[in-house]
Amino acid sequence: MKRKNDLMLFGVILLAALLFWGYSLITRTEGSTVVVTVDGAEFGRYSLLMERETEIVTEYGTNTLVIAGGMATVTEADCPDGLCVSQRDIRYEGESIVCLPHKLVVTIEGGLSSEVDGVVK
């Protein structure tokens, strides 16, 4: 009896996780702006609509950011581990690429606005 209840609980948790994951895939929005921050300070903002290659040179190191096809990616980095280069392209609001040795964060912003555009009394 105990094993059956454990399996049912596992199934419910797995189903809830799959539903949450599916909902997040359906409701995600494409971003419009790439925001680059270094050590918490904004380094630059770039449109996802304009293709460009930008070299980000800081006191921590150098990264190359490429924006093409509505997606952003880090193609080169002189950090020791190079994990930022192996991260996938990003294009949806809230996605990011992080390079910890260089204190670099590349984030997508500016999808559909959910701000209030009127007040009803």
The per-residue pLDDT for range 55-85, each reduced to its tens digit, is: 999 999 999 999 999 999 999 999 999 899 9
Residue matched to tokens 């980000």: 56
Tokens standing for residue 64: 């190359």
Q: How far apart are CA 27 and CA 80, in angstroms?
A: 36
User: Which residues, 6 or more positions from 27, have their beta carbon under 8 angstroms from its beta carbon?
Assistant: none
* pTM, two decimal places: 0.74
* pLDDT score at 112: 52
**Sign, CA torsion 59/75/68/98:** negative
Radius of gyration of the chain (CA): 20
